[in-house]
Structure 1
Amino acid sequence: MRFGLGGLKARFVLVFVIAVAVVAGSTAVALAIAARSWVYTNAQDVAIAEFRDDMAPLYGAQVDTTDPAELEQFVPGDVTAVVDGQVVRRGSVDPSQISESFAAGLDSVRLVRFQRLDSQRILLGMSFEVTNTAYPGAGPERELVKAYAIRPLVGVQEKFDSLIRIVAVTLTAGVVICGLLGWWIASTLVRPLRRLDDAAAQAAAGDLDVRLPEVGVTELARVTETFNEMMRQHGSAITRLTASESQSRRFVADVSHELRTPLAALVPVGEILREEADRLPADTGAAARIVGEEIDKLARLVEDLIEMSRHDVGRARLDLAEVDLAELVRGTLTARGWEDRVPVSATAPVPVQGDARRLEVVVANLVGNALRHGADPVEVSVRREADEAVVEVRDHGAGVPEQHRAEIFERFFKVDTARGRSEGSGLGLSLALENARLHRGTIDVRRVADATVFTLRVPVGSPAGDPSDG
């Protein structure tokens, strides 16, 4: 089970990390916004308190409000003082930049007003009454003085940067830790699935005894129990099917051998009946010929069944020798009287290490199938390609439907299920394929233009380590 974006573990970790990142990120953003406001408020309160403390010496002081030097004794140098609309002393504030609403709000004594100019500065204003000594005995004793100053918001940016760093580090660490935690949880969940995958692969390879330990979370334990129960039932079914198949093969082999003895007596009888058919009355002669033909078909069927049973039990053996496949094809056609109907194309000898009798069975079945179910012309070509000998049997019939091209090599398979009996035993192509496999060869069928082509491929070298064992 590979790690990738399509894997369950990767998806679980990805979703887990994204969820944590979204929740933690949203929390961090909300915290940063709240903390930023708190940092500004705190710095603002500090600036106001300092400004109020700086102005404290002027409360009720006796001072010449027209003399900047005298005012300077009571206020810091950055304070702009305004008396009765006149700028008496100019500090850090340009009086022309002070709004009327801001100045009007300072008519009350000891009232501190503020206005944030930017992220680093704040405008402060405060009014207080002093005893004016500029005109003793003449003007009013008390006079309102408005003081303005621009003060920095100390440490705001540094605190905010520090907060951002802390939030970023915490968020990153949280995501990493949660990712590792998600990986561990995903591994815990995926581990039983990986065991299930491995067990399924072993079962697919034929190991019917594989079982899974019934451990883990409840849901996965149920899957494990279901898998084990499935394997137990599957194993039982396979055992029954194997026993049934073995019994069927033994039955076919036994019946075939039992039929062989009476057939040995019937075959010469059939030959005699065919020879005497012309001398018998018409109806009797026809019956004699039919009986002879049926005896021959039954004999071929029994021989094919016996041969198939040898393949089933692994007792089919090869008698290896060097065989000229081109000459073998010609001899097979001549022996069956097909040499005039089926031309052979072979420009040179094609020697192979094989069993001549079994190769003849393959060729005879392929050509016979083409003659029975195909259409003329039927052609055979023999050639060598690299390390393989190739025999092609081509006919120009309607061909085998594509969906049946693999099934035609099964035993007793018929493309036309409505067709009752056929001239062959129904085992020809199946036997041909078994004998080809015995030589480590293959047979395939394909449609080429208007022709159906069966192709036999056989290695030119020895097909097995033991030349006598198939």
Structure 2
Amino acid sequence: MRLTWLRVDGLRTRLVLVFIAIVVIIAGATAGVVSFMARSWIYSNAQDVATAQFRDELQYSNGPPVDGLTPDTLDQIFQSDMTLIVDGEVIRQGSVDAATIPPSFEEGLDSPKLIRFERLDSQRIMLGMSVNVVDMTADDGYDNETLVKAVTIRPLVGVQDKFDDLLRAVGLTLAAGVLVSGLLGLWIASTLVRPLKRLDEAAARAADGDLSVRLPEDGVAELAQVTTTFNNMVARNEAVIRGLEESEEQSRRFVADVSHELRTPLAALVPVSEILREEIPNLPPDAAAAARIVSSEIGKLTRLVEDLIEMSRHDSQQARLVLDDVDLVELTERTLESRGWTETVELRAPESVSARVDSRRIDIVVANLVGNALRHGAPPVRVELSAEPGFSVITVVDHGPGISPEDRQAIFRRFYKVDTARGRSEGSGLGLSLAVENVHLHGGTIGVDQVDGRTIFTVRLPHR
């Protein structure tokens, strides 16, 4: 897995989003509380300003003499927006409809110089205050102080503008906080992701076989510890793999040496086995049986040694192709004839299938596949040759009990035998593995399938 910058589910992106989310939540909650408190303060301040202004306007109206309580005379001492009430009678209609004044509000104005207020909405406030006015035209001939109730509606000046300014300031602060938190999250995420990316790339190199890769053990303490663990793991794996490679190389060398050493005694035993086989008719029954067993086992041992020597050539990469233009039909006919399989194996092929191959190695491939079908499968056994675009195809078909799916790849391993599925094996277990090596040496492929009760081995050789 590669850590990339644009991945939504990547660690870098998640850390940046977490930082931004934290700032948005904290700053948003703080901004909400501050806005609520500032809103209350703004309203209270605007309310205090309106109340103070109203009081200042009326403080000079308390006690002055007037010639009668008429709208004209009262206009001289009261602002025009004030509704004036005397003894429950509206003397002058201002900004307030007297019928809309709550009784409790009006009753609270019975005492002079006591100011009352009631906020109507976010933009307006209703104010009320009573003052004494001296009526010079009183009937009793004396100056008569009359209580005049003044009620008005005033705007809360500047409230919305101040609140808009507050929201803009909060928004700009929040945006700046999100930007700073995003950059901070990006920096912190980079310090975490960078070593993880190096670790990911190093792990990919190690997976590809480069066991010399090591990482600097620096950075954040936890990541440095992970790096140390990774380096130790790679070092241990390198030591184990080097040991296995050395052990495998020793095993290959041992097999090659033993195989070559066995060729000398086998070279002497083969003629003896041929002489014994010729003399079997002249021997007593017990001696004849023993001669047959000895001759058969010498033949098996010879094939095993030859297979081991051939396998050692592949392991040491000394196997070489000797390519020639070959008719696969003629080659297959010779393979079947030389092994005495002409009567037991059917050949289906066109008149000619040309291919550029190493005839000796393809002979081994066909012989191993047909021999495997004859030993472990069931008749009829058939070899089919054909040509496809870019390939020559060799197919070996038998009608045996088949191969289980889990064994279909394992059978191409060395010394692997499927005795329980294909009967008792008398081979060395190297035949199919040699066939695979020779096919791969040609750049081809080999596979096995089970179709309608038939086991089908298919070899595809590319045209050269």
TM-score by length of structure 1 reads 0.95
Other-structure match for 1:313? 316
One-letter identity of the residue aligned with 1:234: N
Q: Deviations over 1:309-358 (max 9, x none)?
A: 00000111111101112221222112112122221221242211110000
Contact 1:80 1:90 in 2 (8 A): yes
CA distance in 2, matches of 1:385, 1:418: 32
Matched residue SS, 2:403:
coil
**1:28 maps to which of 26, 31, 36:** 31
Alpha-carbon separation, structure 2, partners of 1:309 and 1:440: 19
101-110 vs 130-139, which moves further: 130-139
Instruction: Show CA shifts across 1:207-236 (max 9, x none).
Output: 111000001111101000001111111111
| 23-32 or 430-439, which deviates more | 23-32
Q: Does the alignment pair 1:81 with 2:97?
A: no
Residue 351 of structure 1 contacts residue 460 of structure 1 at CA under 8 Å; is this kept in 2? no
Taking the aligned partners of 1:13 and 1:285, their CA distance within structure 2 comes to 88
Q: Secondary structure of 2:318's partner?
A: coil
| C-alpha contact (below 8 Å) 2:211/2:238 kept by paired residues | yes
Question: What's the counterpart of residue 396 of structure 2?
Answer: 393
Does the aligned pair in 1 maintain the 2:376–2:423 contact within 8 Å? no
In 1, are the aligned partners of 2:403 and 2:422 still within 8 Å (CA)?
Answer: no
Paired position in structure 2 for 1:225: 228
The yes-or-no answer on 1:208 pairing with 2:216 is: no
Q: In the alignment, residue 169 of structure 2 is paired with which amino acid?
A: I
Residue 343 of structure 1 aligns to a residue in which SS?
strand
Amino acid paired to 2:161: E
Residue aligning to 1:114? 117
Deviation digits for residues 370-415 of structure 1, max 9, x if unmatched?
1111122222211111111111111222211111211111100122
Which whole-Å CA distance do the structure 1 matches of 2:396 and 2:421 have between them?
Answer: 26
* Cα displacement (A) at 1:438: 0.7
Relative distance call for 1:420 and 1:387 in structure 2 (3 A) is: closer
CA contact (8 A) 1:345 1:381 kept: yes
| Contact 1:130/1:145 (8 A) holds in 2 | yes
Matched residues in 1 for 2:32 and 2:332: separation? 87
Write the distance in 1 (CA, Å) between the matches of 2:271 and 2:462: 40
**Hey, what does 2:428 align to over in structure 1?**
425
1:253-292 map, 5 Å: 253-292=256-295
Write the distance in 1 (CA, Å) between the matches of 2:181 and 2:274.
90
Matched, 1:342 2:345: yes
For 1:131, the aligned partner's letter is: V
* Aligned-residue offset at 1:166: 1.5
Whole-angstrom distance in 1 between the partners of 2:11 and 2:103: 68
2:358: which partner in 1?
355
Distance between the aligned counterparts of 1:348 and 1:162, measured in 2?
96
- What is the one-letter code of the residue matched to 1:165? R
Deviation by residue 1:101-125 (Cα, 9 ceiling, x = unmatched): 1101111221111111111111111
Contact 2:376 2:425 in 1 (8 A): no
CA spacing shift, 1:323–1:139, aligned 2, 3 Å? farther
Unaligned runs of 5+ in 1: 462-470
Aligned twin of 1:465 = none
Quick one: distance in 2 between partners of 1:238 and 1:50?
93
Is 1:453 aligned with 2:456?
A: yes
1:16 aligns with 2:22: no
Q: Which shows bigger deviation, 287-296 or 110-119?
A: 110-119
Partner of 1:403: 406
Q: Shift of residue 63 of structure 1? A: 2.5
1:58 is matched with 61
Q: Is the 8 A contact 1:64 1:71 kept in 2?
A: no
Mapping for residues 65-144 of structure 1, pairs under 5 Å: 66-135=69-138, 137-138=140-141, 141-144=144-147
**1:270–1:295: 8 Å Cα contact kept in structure 2?**
yes
Counterpart CA distance in 2 for 1:449 and 1:131 is 125
Corresponding position: 1:438 with 2:464: no
| Identity among equivalent pairs (%) | 59
Output the amino acid matched with 2:257. Answer: D
Shift of 1:420: 11
RMSD: 1.6
Q: Following the alignment from structure 2 to structure 1, what is the Cα–Cα distance between the partners of residues 449 and 47?
A: 91
For the pair 1:333 / 2:336, whether they are aligned, the reply is yes
Deviation (angstroms), 1:421:
6.9
**Does 2:210 align with 1:193?**
no
Among candidates 367, 372, 376, match of residue 373 of structure 1: 376
- CA gap 1:80/1:65 in 2 versus in 1, 3 angstroms: farther
Whole-angstrom distance in 1 between the partners of 2:249 and 2:421: 30
Contact 1:47-1:151 at 8 Å conserved across structures: yes
SS of the residue 1:60 aligns to: coil
Structure 1 distance, partners of 2:111, 2:453, is 112
How far apart are the structure 1 equivalents of 2:91 and 2:348? 126
